[in-house]
Amino acid sequence: MGGPRWLWIGAALLCAAVVALVPAVDLPALASTWRAAVADPTGVAVVLTMSCSAFMLRAVLFRRVLPAVSFGHSLAAIHVSLAGNKLLPLRLGEALRVTSVVRRTGVSLAEATASTVVLRGADVLAVIAIAALLGPHVLAGSPGLLGMQVWIIALPACAAVLAAIWWVRRLSRLRMPALGVGVGAVVAWCLESGVMWQAARWAGIPLSPVEAVLVTSLVTVAQVAAIAPGGLGTYEAAAVGALVAGGAPAGAALAAALAAHAVNTAYALVAGAVAAVVPAPSLLGRWRLPRAAPCPRPPVDASGHVLLFLPAHDEEASVAHVVRHVPAAVCGRPVRCLVVDDGSTDRTAALAKHAGAEVMVLGENQGLGAAVRHGLAAGVAEGACAVAFCDADGEYAPSELERLVAPILAGDADYVVGSRFAGHIRRMPPHRRLGNLALTSVLRYVARAPITDGQSGYRALSAAAAAEAEILHDFNYAQVLTLDLLAKGFRYAEVPISYGFRETGRSFVRLGRYLRYVVPAVYAELNRCRIVQSKSGIPD
């Protein structure tokens, strides 16, 4: 939708509408209306309650058409759309209802769109029906507020509703309680008319409830395709025309229209802001794993060897030394060493093979995340009972492998991370230490887990965890792998390890580039987990 661009267009149109309205404002009448509203907090509370009730009713109708969406998310989607219409021109806020439902519930785009078209079309037809019933002279074209223009709106609305009903009937998870939706839409508009009735009272206009319903319906029809955000200008013009036709002074009519519009706008913006965040996940998506998680996986009685693989890219200075220090066995299980050569342009593969490792050559450099993905797949394919990996640059001690796999082989954990900060750090540059601690704090908050080292390059997985592990991007793996496995219910553990900053070569990690790739990947992982868990019935 080009959000920022439409916001700027909306702001420009809003300013133009304000400039057009200001000369017509009767300041004494507006001041009197304002004082009456301030002196009547009970009246304000009543009309806000009526507005809230109208939108709660619409949320119930939304659920009747689309049962897969909870009441909370239905209500939130409607309020987000309402606020969007106050900020965007051409009623583009309607698209936010669809966006909210799709992003926050996992409902398909087709289902969200079809149900939205049905309900919004029913709203338009309801206000036209109200106007036809309460003020037929208006639709007949006499002193004509809208005259035959109403039918220019009604006919496309009817066509859209019929098309949407046909669409709904083709989608298996949607229902079409036509009578209930129509009656509910009429009742909702009657509740919303309380705002106009109360605003007219503040302005000194003796408007009956029936007349308030008629004015509200005419105003709504007039701004179906409002150009300015919130229908500013068209709302006031239609309201003033209807009130003046009923005998109200023009100055008081405009004051009442502005007061009603102000109340509606304030409600929309406040409710929309809350609805963008509540209920979880927010419209912006989830930024933490849910408190509830799938049941822990039962321990797997796996026999066989342990695979330790080393992702390597241009590590000829250190890879052979690392390979030679890989233990032959841990916890009574034989260990196989695999070097995943990620597009090295030096002698990494040859030196690793000469030192005794098996070598998997990936060809072009794909990235650390891709190398880890290939290593995990290799461990699963060859039936390893545990799969571990560490960097090939000499920063980690392969001789400590048993510390990582022991909790897995004992059935106490599925995913074990070697924590440098819980162990012994021989050397780490201060800026690296600070960056690691900061990023770990963020991951600990996001994952809701007692993580002390979120970026460690020494990890081990059970056979089941390795089989189900998913790494979303090629650049890196650390955060997304942890979030993925925790979201799937695998048991997490840490063990202390030793660490020494690399003496040769150059790390690929640069803070700006790292954050540019990792933050979007973490966001994608969190919200991918949300969809998986929502389908499993796990609450947010």
Of residues 72 and 123, more confidence is placed in: 72
> Which 3 state secondary structure label does DSSP give 536?
coil
Residues 6+ apart with CB under 8 A from 494: 416, 417, 418, 419, 422, 450, 451, 452, 453
CATH number for 437 = 3.90.550.10
267 shares its domain with 393? no
Q: How far apart are CA 339 and CA 361, in angstroms?
A: 8
41-70 pLDDT per residue, tens: 999 999 999 999 999 999 999 998 888 899
Q: Is position 490 within any domain?
A: yes
Contact 402, 319 (CB under 8 A): no
Contact 218, 131 (CB under 8 A): yes
Residues 6+ apart with CB under 8 A from 127: 189, 216, 217, 220, 221
Q: How far apart are CA 272 and CA 99, in angstroms?
A: 14
- The last residue of one of the domains, among 275, 297, 326, is 275
Q: Is 496 exposed, middle or buried (0-12, 13-18, 19+ CB in 10 A)?
A: middle
Q: Is position 157 within any domain?
A: yes
Of residues 444 and 2, more confidence is placed in: 444
Report residue 467's pLDDT band, with 50, 70 and 90 as the boundaries: very high
Q: How far apart are CA 284 and CA 272, in angstroms?
A: 13
According to the model, what pLDDT value does residue 177 have? 63
Contact 310, 340 (CB under 8 A): yes
Q: Is position 165 within any domain?
A: yes
Q: How far apart are CA 189 and CA 166, in angstroms?
A: 25
Q: Is position 294 within any domain?
A: no
Contact 322, 291 (CB under 8 A): no
> Which 3 state secondary structure label does DSSP give 166?
helix
Is 386 a residue whose pLDDT tops 50?
yes
109-131 pLDDT per residue, tens: 888 888 888 888 788 888 878 87
339 shares its domain with 475? yes
Contact 264, 270 (CB under 8 A): no
42 shares its domain with 92? yes
According to the model, what pLDDT value does residue 381 have? 95
- In the chain, how many domains are there? 2
114 shares its domain with 169? yes
201 shares its domain with 333? no
Over residues 242-260, mean pLDDT: 89
> Which 3 state secondary structure label does DSSP give 465?
helix
204 shares its domain with 329? no
Q: State the Cα angle at 426 between 422 and 427, rounded to 5°.
A: 110
Count of beta carbons in the 10 Å neighbourhood of residue 529:
21
333 shares its domain with 465? yes
209 shares its domain with 340? no
- The last residue of one of the domains, among 275, 290, 321, is 275
Mean model confidence pLDDT for the chain: 85
Over residues 307-327, mean pLDDT: 96
Over residues 508-520, mean pLDDT: 69
Q: Is 216 exposed, middle or buried (0-12, 13-18, 19+ CB in 10 A)?
A: buried
Q: Residue 435 is part of which domain span?
A: 306-535
> Which 3 state secondary structure label does DSSP give 143?
coil
Q: Is position 399 within any domain?
A: yes
Q: Which of 381, 366, 344, 392 is nearest to 471 (CA)?
A: 366
260 shares its domain with 343? no
Residue owning tokens 């993925």: 484
265 shares its domain with 338? no
Report residue 11's pLDDT band, with 50, 70 and 90 as the boundaries: low
Is 215 a residue whose pLDDT tops 70?
yes
Long-range CB contact pairs, 89-93, < 8 A, 24+: 89/6, 89/9, 89/10, 89/13, 89/226, 89/227, 89/228, 89/229, 90/225, 90/226, 90/227, 91/224, 91/225, 91/226, 92/1, 92/6
259 shares its domain with 374? no
221 shares its domain with 340? no
Report residue 185's pLDDT band, with 50, 70 and 90 as the boundaries: very high
Report residue 486's pLDDT band, with 50, 70 and 90 as the boundaries: very high
Contact 298, 411 (CB under 8 A): no
DSSP state letters, 217-255: HHHHHHTTT-SSGGGTTHHHHHHHHHHHHTT--HHHHHH
Q: How far apart are CA 219 and CA 281, in angstroms?
A: 35
Q: Backbone phi, then psi, for 308, in 5-degree steps?
A: -115, 115
Q: Is position 6 within any domain?
A: no
- The last residue of one of the domains, among 222, 255, 275, is 275
Is 530 a residue whose pLDDT tops 70?
no
According to the model, what pLDDT value does residue 169 have? 62
According to the model, what pLDDT value does residue 499 have? 95
Q: Is position 494 within any domain?
A: yes
Q: Is position 245 within any domain?
A: yes
